Amino acid sequence: MLLAIVATIVGIALTVVSADKFVDGASALADRLGMSHFLIGLTIVAIGTSAPELLVSAVAAYEGSPGIALGNALGSNITNIALVLGATAVIWPLLVPRPLVVRNLPILLAVAVIIALLTLRPSFDRVAGIGLLILLPILLYRLIKDEKTSGETVNIPKLRLPTAVALTIGSLIVLLSSSKLLVWGAIEIALYFGISELIIGLTIVAVGTSLPELAASIASARRGQTDMALGTVIGSNIFNSLGVIGLAAVISPFAIDPDVLSRDMPWTFGLTLLLFLFARYATLGTLKRQHGILFLLLYVGYLVHIAATIVPIP
């Protein structure tokens, strides 16, 4: 048991660090190859912050533990809104740009509706997975077109080409290895305590793989780029819903746990809708400290809800 706990902690730490280094290396490499900064921000940086969820879920699905994959995706979306945005808003008020309310949040809300409808089916099969993966680049293209008018850029590290290539490949290898370590540790913990892999995915794994979003959001807010903090969470949740769940379903179709329909999906959709309403009707277009406190209280409420519905596996 101790080994499983250590493996989980080390797996989370290495996953977060390697994902951050992957973003640095891949961004520098793309910059060297002539890719524009806004495109790097919307693709490599957005995918990089979701790389832990993607790799962990893919490994979990491949190794026959799709409950971790689905729990990771939904749990990360809940964590991103309630914990990441909540904690960030408590520290720094978050400015909500009008274009984000008009374009990005409605897309996120629409994606949440699609996932909610798919959970009404008995399982996530390969057809559903392929459909989600097809929808992902379409929405990314839409966001890229909108981003061209914003003029925002991202900070790209200046690295020599060989260094950028080595950092990209090396961090990707570490990311994959640490994902396997994290999945193994999570499965062992679930077996030891006799609870479902879904619960582990929704809690320990979800919080661990959401650390890049938390770090990115707080760093953006400290620099006064509070719109980027919101953008990071919105982009990550879209990628989690379409890319992470879609890839897991393609690798290993899985049945939908009844708790997902009765507990996790309502929380995911409800928090997404609440974020949209707060952003749409917030005073002076700002998510204030009271909004952040409410999100944090809701996250605690979600954890209590999980604890109340845990049924030990015989």
- Stretch 133-144: mean pLDDT: 82
Q: Which residues lie closer than 8 Å to 185 by C-beta, 6 or more apart?
A: 3, 4, 5, 6, 7, 8, 9, 11
The answer as to whether 15 is a domain residue is: no
Task: For residue range 13-32, list pLDDT tens digits in order.
Answer: 887 787 777 777 777 777 77
- 294 CB neighbour count, 10 Å cutoff: 15
Task: For residue range 250-271, list pLDDT tens digits in order.
Answer: 998 988 888 888 899 999 999 9
For residue 110, CA distances in Å to 139, 180, 239 come to 11, 32, 13
- 128 CB neighbour count, 10 Å cutoff: 20
Residue 76 structure tokens:
């990360």
Asked if residue 104 lies in contact with residue 143, where contact means CB atoms within 8 angstroms, the answer is yes
Give the chain's length. 314
- Tell me the backbone φ, ψ of residue 313, rounded to 5 degrees: -80, 125
Angle at 229 between CA 208 and CA 163, to 5 degrees: 70
For residue 159, CA distances in Å to 26, 27, 164, 172, 195 come to 10, 10, 6, 17, 46
The answer as to whether 118 is a domain residue is: yes
Predicted pLDDT at 126:
93
Asked if residue 243 lies in contact with residue 77, where contact means CB atoms within 8 angstroms, the answer is no
The answer as to whether 163 is a domain residue is: no
Q: Which among 6-15, 19-28, 85-94, 169-178 has the top mean pLDDT?
A: 85-94
The burial of 62, by beta-carbon neighbours within 10 Å (0-12 exposed, 13-18 middle, 19 or more buried), is given as: middle
Asked if residue 41 lies in contact with residue 230, where contact means CB atoms within 8 angstroms, the answer is no
**160-165 CB contacts, 8 Å cutoff, 24+ apart:** 161/29, 161/32, 163/25, 163/28, 164/25, 164/26, 164/28, 164/29, 164/32, 165/25, 165/29
Total number of domains constituting the chain: 1
Asked if residue 75 lies in contact with residue 205, where contact means CB atoms within 8 angstroms, the answer is yes
Asked if residue 279 lies in contact with residue 99, where contact means CB atoms within 8 angstroms, the answer is no
Predicted pLDDT at 151:
47
Residue 154 scores a pLDDT above 70: no
The answer as to whether 3 is a domain residue is: no
Q: What is the DSSP letter of 210?
A: T
Q: For residues 230 and 100, what is the distance between their CA atoms, to the nearest angstrom?
A: 9
Q: What CATH number should be reported for the domain holding residue 130?
A: 1.20.1420.30
The answer as to whether 167 is a domain residue is: no
Q: For residues 74 and 185, what is the distance between their CA atoms, to the nearest angstrom?
A: 20
Bridge partners of residue 176, in order along the sequence? none
Task: For residue range 199-208, list pLDDT tens digits in order.
Answer: 888 887 888 7
* Nearest Cα to Cα of residue 237 among 83, 114, 74, 33: 74
The answer as to whether 46 is a domain residue is: yes
**Residue 53 vs residue 110, higher pLDDT:** 110
The answer as to whether 23 is a domain residue is: no
Residue 5 scores a pLDDT above 70: yes
Structural domain containing residue 56: 38-153+191-309
The answer as to whether 33 is a domain residue is: no
Residue 33 structure tokens:
């190859």
Residue 209 scores a pLDDT above 80: no
* Residue % of the chain over a pLDDT of 90: 22
Residue 44 scores a pLDDT above 50: yes
- Tell me the backbone φ, ψ of residue 255, rounded to 5 degrees: -70, 150
